[in-house]
Structure 1
Amino acid sequence: MSDLKLRTKTFAILCWKLCAKFPKSREYSNYVNQLLRSSSSVGANYRASQRAKSKADFINKLKIVEEEIDESVYWLEIFLEISDVNHIELKELHKEATEILAIIVASINTARKNQKSKNSNL
């Protein structure tokens, strides 16, 4: 899944570039910081999941990724409603975030299913 490793890193970089375009105001600053934090956390935690010590650890780390990408989706939706900054770019990032979220949820479900089938075989 090195493709997802690259995708999550690229997502963080594109969010950073987008955030640099927002007005430098008190109102925007909090939301920008939240998106920067959650979007960069996605890739960092995905990388950590690839070094998990067990299947349970892997699932737990992916759950963190799920929370962070879902939070990123939320902030992108907020910016779509309040911002005049490039809506095409925002929509593309939102689409990418929802795709990553779907992949992570599917990965969690697969890992849980594999964990249950392995435990039932013991």
Structure 2
Amino acid sequence: MIKGRIATALAATTLVLGGAMALAPSAVADSGSSVTALPASSDSVLASCWGQRVKGSAGHEGNKAWCDSGRYREVIQCETLGGYQYTHYGPWVWAPAESVAWCNLGDRINTSHVEWAA
């Protein structure tokens, strides 16, 4: 449980502090991001994960994530125009599938990270 929280905190911190630097400049310009985190299920295996902002057909803001191993889901922190913050979760998936989380229409994404299955 503690390992999972550490991995989640590491993933969130890396995304927030600019984990996108590991990608090519053109990918950074497209709002892509990259993060490496330790899955909760293993002490010795590092998994690489990537994230990218997406727009829905109705204008919803979302973020998708995909990793090269493990079971995970995308987690985003959204904010309304009035400043209310809430969290939305993407579906649990196995690598290399994508997990996508969406904010409500008109709201924006503050932060995003990958959460590993325990």
TM range (shorter): under 0.3
Query: Of Structure 1 and Structure 2, which has the larger fraction of its residues in strand?
Result: 2
User: How does the TM-score come out when normalised to structure 2?
Assistant: 0.27
Q: Which has the higher helix share?
A: 1
**TM-score, normalised with respect to structure 1:** 0.27
Higher Cα Rg: structure 1 or 2?
A: 1
